[in-house]
Amino acid sequence: MPANGLSAPQDGATHSVPGAEDALSALTALVRTDLEACNRLIVERMQSPVALIPQLAAHIVAAGGKRLRPLLTLAAARLCGYPAGGHRHVALAACVEFIHTATLLHDDVVDESALRRGQASANALFGNKASVLVGDFLFARAFRLMVQDGSLKVLAILSEAAATIAEGEVLQLVTQNDTTTTEAQYLQVIEGKTAALFAAATRVGAVVADRPEAEEAALDAYGRNLGIAFQLVDDALDYAAEQERLGKTIGDDFREGKITMPVLLAFTRGTEAERAFWRRALEQREQRPEDLAMAQGLMQRHDALADTVARARDYGDAALAALRVFPDSPERRALADIVAFCIDRAR
Amino acid sequence: MPANGLSAPQDGATHSVPGAEDALSALTALVRTDLEACNRLIVERMQSPVALIPQLAAHIVAAGGKRLRPLLTLAAARLCGYPAGGHRHVALAACVEFIHTATLLHDDVVDESALRRGQASANALFGNKASVLVGDFLFARAFRLMVQDGSLKVLAILSEAAATIAEGEVLQLVTQNDTTTTEAQYLQVIEGKTAALFAAATRVGAVVADRPEAEEAALDAYGRNLGIAFQLVDDALDYAAEQERLGKTIGDDFREGKITMPVLLAFTRGTEAERAFWRRALEQREQRPEDLAMAQGLMQRHDALADTVARARDYGDAALAALRVFPDSPERRALADIVAFCIDRAR
């Protein structure tokens, strides 16, 4: 069974990387003290006299996600020589996590049309409005953390990333249910909605350590390529048979009619009859119970998942290449191993 | 007919202020060149390669609202001696309008429960998700404008305001449909959702002009009290019979079960049978076609609208008092006249 949890591809594009699943633990261990400080700051800054705010925020932010983005900020800063126990990278790591959480909350908002199809999402417990408003609160708190940091350069990087994230999310909305979406548009979507924050999260590590532009650019390239790889794999996992067997939800993207890389590949490589299937299911959104299995079969036939992961590997390689401007160190090794972790996610 | 468009109150608490409706035109004329620069900046900064963004943003931001908040920033800066034709107050006025527009877009988001009652709102054209994401984009662009301004003090004021707005909106959501809401809670809601941005909009005028803390605090107090007065009147207008006659929509707050000052006054002063009516209509939200008229009748009986406007006048007086630290000038007179304009809105 391949470690990335995808059903076995025919071309061997996916393969098991022993220990990749431990890369996250290794990275976490490396910055444990700073991560704990970051977690405390997160809990402290999501407080509000309005009780629903910490209550709803805790539902997502404190639920013990893997904290991948703040870990990247902490490790990037340490890689650049910023001292462990310092507070700037901790504050910015919390800030990055708040932006990520706000994005998740806003992503949870359900459209009227989706509701009519009975697709209530994770926001079912609190409702659309609460998700939007608590997300806004976390965005505002993220900016407050940045302002307190006091670096206009950091503020420029993160506010630009926030605008790019929103652009990516809107473009995703626009291309949804549109099978004429191009690969370039898809890449623009994931560069915005995912990679922009990864890039900002790692770039600010160089900024707090006051490193030259070349190192800033290298960490930006590392984060950006890692983010694209991460999202490509995410989009493949949404159709992965193995995930299903492991009791994970799959098919969310399919039900929503998102046009992701696996769909683009299967659609482009498909027969006219197959394209008619994709148009019916994703554009007209007339879905039958057996359609997801049909989609998975077509992806298998056209190597769509394996090739999506293969592209993720290319971006992963670019992320690794970007790290080469830094001398060898435990941080550099940990950040390099995270690339494999993001690609070979078996969970 | 009283100029504020409310049905004639019995105690004369509302009265016509001749020319109050011209106060906005006078203020606009006073800063016309700067306002035009602000409008150009707004249009420029809401551009994006993602076409839906300027399209949806234009729907609200460029639709030619009265631009009250940016006008306040421009006039406050000029009052403090900041030169006409300068760019900082123009950029911050645009920033304030972006935050306001983003708030409007997020306020448009409809809850599942509201949808089930068939209450599609202004976002019907584009949908919940587009409203949220384009709002996020405008928030991010607002922060970008602030970062470019380069003042950490301005950034602190406006990011704090953004968090307070979100807190106010969440508290409003929490107190909705709850007739045990106290007047203190209601005031906390409107201080957050409305007055915080008014206060920040005027305070930054003193900051760009590099004026002493006393003048900053005075402009903060002016904006905050004006904002509370503005919202109190808004909440009264939502039940005003005169508005209905003029073809304006009324009763939105009633249908949503918002607990506003007129409701609090009528509820507190009502009989037990009347309170049962309010509970049924606003808490259980079992509303019949004749209920809005019933609510208006109860408010008339208990002077609820007139007394809401009377309280607005008290806050308006506090706003006027705050202006007294400044010497007489056309800007001070224009800002003073805006207080009457906000209270005596006939349209």
- With an 8 Å Cβ cutoff, are B156 and A166 in contact? no
Residue A281 pLDDT grade (very low, low, confident, very high; cuts 50, 70, 90) = very high
Residues of chain B with C-beta less than 8 angstroms from the C-beta of A139:
136, 139, 162, 166
The per-residue pLDDT for range A127-179, each reduced to its tens digit, is: 888 999 999 999 999 999 999 999 999 999 999 999 999 999 999 999 999 99
Q: Is A113 on the interface with B (CB under 8 A)?
A: yes
- Which of chain A's residues have a Cβ under 8 Å away from the Cβ of B124? 112
Q: Which contacts of A115-121 are long-range, i.e. CB under 8 A and separated by 24 or more positions?
A: A115/B112, A115/B115, A117/A285, A119/A255, A119/A256, A120/B112
How buried is A45 (Cβ within 10 angstroms: 0-12 exposed, 13-18 middle, 19+ buried)? Answer: buried
> Which residue of A53, A56, A109 is the best one to mutate when testing the B interface, meaning the one whose CB has the most B CBs within 10 A?
A109
- CA A31 to chain B, closest CA, distance in angstroms equals 29
- Cross-chain Cβ contact A166/B106 below 8 Å: no
pLDDT lower than 50: segments of chain B: 1-18, 115-122, 346-347
ipTM for the assembly = 0.89
Buried b (16+ CB within 10 A) or exposed e, A187-208: bbbbbbbbbbbbbbbbbbbbbb
- Tens digit of each residue's pLDDT (9 = 90 or more) over B247-277: 667 898 999 999 999 999 999 999 999 999 9
Residue A111 has pLDDT above 90, yes or no: no
pLDDT value, residue B247: 62
The amino acid sitting at A52 is: L
> Which residue, B343, B276, B260, B264, is CA-closest to B302?
B264
Interchain proximity B137–A50, CB inside 8 Å? no
Query: Looking at the predicted structure, is the pLDDT value of residue A247 above 90?
Result: no
In this predicted structure, what is the pLDDT of residue B63? 59
- B167·A137 Cβ contact <8 A: yes
Lowest mean pLDDT among A107-111, A203-207, A340-344: A107-111
Q: Among all residues of chain B, which has the CA nearest to that of A172? A: B50
pLDDT digits (tens, 9 = 90+) for A211-237: 999 999 999 999 999 999 999 999 999
Closest to B171 in 3D by CA, of A137, A285, A19, A227:
A137
Picking from B52, B109, B165, the nearest residue to A129 by CB comes out as B109
A313-344 residue pLDDT tens:
999 999 999 999 999 999 999 999 999 999 98
User: Which tens digits make up the pLDDT trace of B4-34?
Assistant: 434 433 333 333 444 556 899 999 999 999 9
Helix axes B152-175, B88-107, angle to 10 degrees: 20
> In terms of Cα–Cα distance, which of B116, B247, B103, B124 is closest to B167?
B103
Determine whether the interchain pair A162/B174 forms a contact, defined as Cβ–Cβ distance below 8 Å: no
Tens digit of each residue's pLDDT (9 = 90 or more) over A285-315 = 999 999 999 999 999 999 999 999 999 999 9
- Nearest CA to CA, how far is A99 from chain B (Å)? 11
Give the residue from B205, B185, B79, B97 showing the smallest Cα distance to B141: B97
Q: How many CB pairs under 8 A join A and B?
A: 151
Question: Which DSSP letter does residue B190 get?
Answer: H
- Confidence at residue A3, expressed as pLDDT on a 0 to 100 scale: 38
CA distance B272 to B270: 7
Q: Do B163 and A141 touch (CB under 8 A)?
A: yes
Q: Which residue of A has its CA nearest to B56?
A: A170
CB contact under 8 A, B159 and A147: yes
User: Is the four-CA dihedral A184, A109, A92, A81 of positive or negative sign?
Assistant: negative
- B250: DSSP letter: -
A residues 42-71 lying closer than 8 A (beta carbon) to B: 48-53
Residue B109: what pLDDT? Answer: 83
Q: Which two tokens stand for residue B25?
A: 């035109």
